[in-house]
Amino acid sequence: MTTDRLMRRSVVLAVALMASACSGSGEVAQSGPLTYASDALVDTEWLKARMGDPSVRIVEVGGSPADYGEGHLPGATFLSMGRLSNPDEPIQNQIATGDQVSSALSSLGIERGQTVVLHDRQNNLQAARAYWVLKYYQHPDVRVYNGGVRKWTADGGALTTDAPEVAASTYPAGPADEAIRTTWSYVVEHTDDPATLMCDVRSPDEHLGRDVRAARGGHIPGSINLEWTVAVQADGTFKSAQDLSALYTSAGFTPDKQIITYCQSGVRGAHTWFVLSELLGYPNVRNYDGSWTEYGNNPESPIAS
C-alpha cells in the first residue's frame, strides 16, 4: 500500500475515532456534511473538462462489446471483465495475474503514467471491480466515472460509435498490494477474530441459504449481510458520503475494524470494497475474490445459515 494512501486513511481513522469519543454514544459526531475520502470518483463535469487530454484514458468495462459498439463515450475504449480474471484458475472471476493485466492494458495502449477513468453500464459494479484490480497492481492514478454511460447521457452527453485508434503499449503491472485482497485460509483464520468483520454483500436469500449457488448455501459464520445495492442511488450513482457512512456504521462496520467483503465471485464484493476503502476511507478493507464460489464449494469451510 502506498504511503499517501496510508497517511490519508490514518487521518480518516483518527478523525472518526476522536469524533466517536467526543460524542459519548459510540456514534460518530459530525460537524458538517461528509465528503468522499479520496478523489477516486469523478463526475461528468470533470470528465468533459478532460476529453481529448492524452494523459487521460477513458475505459468502458463490461461484458458486452455489442453494447459498446452501439454507442459509447467519446474516446472510450472497451475492456472485457473477463480480461481482468484468470482463466487458468478453477474459481470463477479470481483476479488475473500481473502478466494477464499487463497484456490487457497493453492492448488498449495504456501507459502507467496515464490517468485511467473506468466506467460501465451497471451501477458502477464492473468499474469498481476493475478499479480494485488496477489498484491491486498499483496503477498510480485510477478513477471511476460515477454512473457511467447512463449518467453521461442523462447529463446531455452524446454517444459515438467511432472506436478510437490506439497503438499497443508495453504496460508493466506493478507489484501486488496484498493488503486489499484475501484468501480462503485468511478468512477462516479470522472468522472468530473480534477485530475483523465479514461483510456479505450478496442478496438476503443467498446469505440465508435460500438461494444456493455452490455445493452448500449459507454464509461465513458471524458475517453481516448488507447487499451491495444499498450504496447505489436510483440513477446508478453512489449515494452521498453522509448516507454511506450512516448505512455502514449503523450495520456495525466501523473504521477501527478490519473488514473483509465477499459475494459469489468477488465482483459485488469489490463494489463494497470501493465504497468502504476509497469513498469512506476505511484503513483496512480486503476483498475476498474467491468468495462463495470457493468458500461454499470447500467441504472444510465452516458455514452458518
Known catalytic residues are 263
Do 116 and 138 form a contact (C-beta atoms < 8 A)?
A: no
Q: Is the dihedral of CA 296, 298, 301, 305 positive or negative?
A: positive
Q: Which of 93, 160, 101, 154 is nearest to 126 (CA)?
A: 93
CA dihedral 129, 133, 136, 140 (to 10 degrees): -100
CA distances from residue 72 to 84, 129, 149, 213 in whole angstroms, order as listed: 20, 20, 7, 33
R_g of the chain computed on alpha carbons:
19
CA distances from residue 27 to 219, 243, 248, 251 in whole angstroms, order as listed: 28, 14, 12, 12
Q: Which of 232, 229, 300, 290 is nearest to 264 (CA)?
A: 290
